[in-house]
Structure 1
Amino acid sequence: MKKKILLAQNSAFIANRLPRAAKALKEANYDVDILNWNRGVNSSVIEAATENFKKEGITVHSIYCGNTPYGKGIITIVNKLLFIIKVILFLCKSGQQYKVVHAIDFDLGLPVFLAKLINPKLKYKIIYDIADFVETFHSPIPIFVRKIIKSISEKIMKSAEIIIIPDQNRFRNIPKALHEKTIIINNSIDPPKEKVEYPIEKSFNLLNVFYYGALSRDRGIELLLQQQDICIWFAGKGELQEDIIKAAEINSNINYLGYLSLPEILSVASQTDIIYMVYDPTYQHNQIASPNKLYEALYLGKPCIVSENTSIDLFVDKYDIGYVTKFDVLSLKQTFSGINQIELLEKGKNAELIYPQFSWEHSKNKLIENYSSICG
C-alpha cells in the first residue's frame, strides 16, 4: 500500500518548491495530496494547477477564507488567522490518513504543529521546510512578535523529523542542536516537460533586463524603475504592482507582463539579456537570499545582476556568472552602462557550465532518500 503524504504551503503554486517536490514524491510511489490557501486573487492559478495535478494523480485541497490580496500586511491578519484555524480543523478531521505532513514555512508549520497538540490521535510525522524565516522578513511585524515567532518556530523544528532549508547560509537561523536533522534542498528548477513560447518585442538597441516574482519593496524594483537607458520587463504580483503598471503606461522602456506561469517566465527570460535580483541588503532575509531566479538563470545560461551583501553576491563572483552592484540608483546605473554583449555571453556560458552541480536531480534524490528514512 502506498504511503500517503500531504505537502502544505500558503501560496503553493506561486513558487516551484512545492510542485516539484509533489511530482518527485509521486514518481517515487507515494500517494500525494497538496493543501494550499485560495486567497481569491490566485483562484485562477489554483484552478489550473488543480487540473494539472489531478491528471498526475495528485489531489489538491484549497482553503478559502475570503478575498485576501497579497502585500497588505496587518489588513489581512483576520483572514490569515482564519486560514490557520481551518488548516487545524482540516488536519483534525483528515490528518490520520497521512504518514507525513510536509509543511512549508511558518504559516503552515504552525497549524501542522498545533493540530498534533490538540488531537493526540494524529500520528503523522512533520517535515518542516523553511524557505523563508518569517521573523526576518520585510514587513511591519513588531520586534516582540518576531521574537515570539522565532521561539515557536524553534519548537516546531524540535518536533519535526526533518528540517529542510534551501542553502548553507540558512544554518545560522537553525539552533546548533538541530543541525544534524537539517538538510539542504536548494531552489533549483524542475524543468517543465513542455516549453511554452511567450514572445516579447525586446529592444535591439538597449539592454533587456527581466525581473519577475514578488513585486515587493525590498526587491530593488524602485531602483530599477528609475533606470532610463535600459529596456525593463516585469512579471509577477505584489504591493508595487500598480506602481509598475503606471510606470509602464508612461515610459516606453518599461513593460509589465502580468502574472506568468513558470514555462512563460522561462520563455521571456530566454529572450532577455540579464535577470535582475538586486535585493535590499538592509533586510536580514535578503542577507541570506536564495532566489529561485538564481537557479533558473543557471538553467537558461543567463547572467544575473545582484546586490552586495546578499550572500548570492559571493556565489556570482565565485563562478563569474553575472554582476554585483551596490544598492543605490547611481551604482546600478553605472553597472548597467558597463555591460557589453561579449561579457554577457561569457558569463552566460559560465552559468550554463555550473548548472549540473546545482540541478534539481541532485536535490530530488536527497529528498526521496530522507522520506524513505522516516517512512520506513
Structure 2
Amino acid sequence: MITIVMKSRTKVLEFHLGELNLFDAARFHDRPVRSLSQNHPGTSTQVLGRDDVLAIETECRRERMLLLDRTDEAYCSSAQGRDYASWLTTAAPADLICTRKGDTSLDDVHRYIVRDSVQWLTMWTAGYRKDSLWHAMAKAVALLAVLDDIVIAPSDVADGTHRIGGESLGEVLDRIKLVAGDRDVRWLDEAYKETLFSSRIQFHEKWSAAPSGMAAPSDFNAIQAYLREPDVLRASITRTYAAETLPVMYLLAYYYRISFDECDWASFIAASVAQTLGMDISKDQHGVGVKEVTNFGERPEEAIQGNLRRRSEIYDVFLQLADMLRSATGLAGLVCDRYSRVSLSYGRLVDRYIERRDMTRLPMSADLSLVVKEVMEGH
C-alpha cells in the first residue's frame, strides 16, 4: 500500500521504504529519504518478531518502573529533591516552561501545544474533522504532549490540577465518552494510566535537567538512564514511555473502534516506538539533536564514523519496526501502519519541528487560530 501526497516541494513520506524505487527524485535529493534508503528493508541482519517486541517491552517497562520508584524515593529523601521541591513552590509560571522558544506564559504554551495536537491529529486521522469528538481528541492529545514542555508534577496530572482551557485530562476523557457513542472505554482507561506513567518520567527528566545543586543525583538521572540501555531498541522503547506516543495509540484505537479484546499489542508497541523514532528522524532534517542514545547531534568529541553508525542503528531499528507492520491487514493494522510512519513527515509540515530549529514561534493562520480556539474552549 502506498499513501503519498506530493504538492509543490512538499513530500509527505507515508510510504514504505521498500517502495522507494517509485520515488527516485526524493530518494536522491531528500536527505532523510536518502539516508533511510541506505538502510533498505532486507539489508538488516535482524528481524523483529512480535513475541520479541512484547518480551523486550515487558522487560523495559519493569526496569523503568523500578527506576521510577527508586527515583521517587530519592526525590523525597535527598537534599537535591527537597531543594527542587522547594523551588517549585516559589517558581513563577514562566520558570516552569521548557520550550526555549520565547514563551512567556503558560497560556502561550497551551495555545501552541493545542496547535501541535491539531496538526498531529490531522495527519494521524488523514484529515481534519470539524466535530466535537475530533476536537476533544485533539485536546486530550495536547494535555498529554504538554508534559514535555512544562514542569508538571505527576500529582497534578492525577488530581486534575494540570489543565488546559479549564479542563483536566480526566474531564476531557469523560467528555470524549459522552460524545463518542458506543465505544470501548477501556482504551481511555489505558490512555489515562499510561499518561500517569509518562508523567513520572517527564517529571524526573525535568529534575535531572535542573541547575546544579538541585538536579537529581547521577544514579537517578532520568536522561542518563537512556545511555545505560544496552542497545538502540531498548533505549527507543524507554524514550517512547516519555514521548506519550503509546497513550495516543490507545486514543486512536478508541476513535477507530478497534477491538480491545482482540488487540495485537505487539503492533501497538511497534507503531508507537516507530512514531517516536520517526520524530527523531524528522528533527534531524533541521539539525536538532535529541536525547542519547537516540541522538543525531554531531558531537566534536566523537569521530564522524561514530555519528554515522548511530544514525544507521536508529534508521535500522525504525525500519525493522515499520517492516513488521507492512503486512498489516484490517482497520487496526492499517491504523498502526500509518501511525508508525507518518512522523517522518513532521519536519516538513508540523510547525513545532521548524520552531525547534529556529528557537522561535511561528505565526498561525486565521483558520488554524480559529480551530485552536475552538479546541481550547471545548467546542
Q: Same fold (TM over 0.5)?
A: no
- What is the TM-score when the length of structure 1 is the normalising length? 0.26
Greater percentage in strand: 1
Greater percentage in helix: 2
Q: Which of structures 1 and 2 has the larger relative contact order (alpha carbons within 8 angstroms, sep 6+)?
A: 2
- What is the TM-score when the length of structure 2 is the normalising length? 0.26
